Amino acid sequence: MRDTATADGGKPQRRAFIDSSGINTFLIAYQAASSAQGWLRIASAQEAVLGVLQIVGLDKVIPCRPTIEQALTAG
């Protein structure tokens, strides 16, 4: 069984903007997940957000998938 987490603990929310605070949050979450032998994937990011993730190289660290289903089944 796999658990998914969202910012509000409920339905996944879409964001069209990310700044350095968001990037740092992803990095901290990734480090915490890795420390617990878990994983983190980004699903269904909007183009503007995905572009920023690619510019800073975060997509090389945290896999980005086009859908939640693909993120949950990616290896």
Task: Give the model's pLDDT for residue 1.
Answer: 31
Give 53's contacts (C-beta < 8 A, 6+ positions apart).
18, 23, 26, 42, 45, 59, 62, 64
Task: Count CA atoms closer than 13 A to 69's CA, side-chain side.
Answer: 0
Task: Give the model's pLDDT for residue 17.
Answer: 82
Q: Reply yes or no on whether the pLDDT at 2 is more than 80.
A: no
**22-68 residue pLDDT tens:** 999 999 999 999 999 999 999 999 999 999 999 999 999 999 999 99
15, burial (CB in 10 Å: exposed 0-12, middle 13-18, buried 19+):
exposed
Q: Reply yes or no on whether the pLDDT at 4 is more than 60.
A: no
Task: Give the model's pLDDT for residue 16.
Answer: 75
Show me where the domains of the chain are located: 20-73
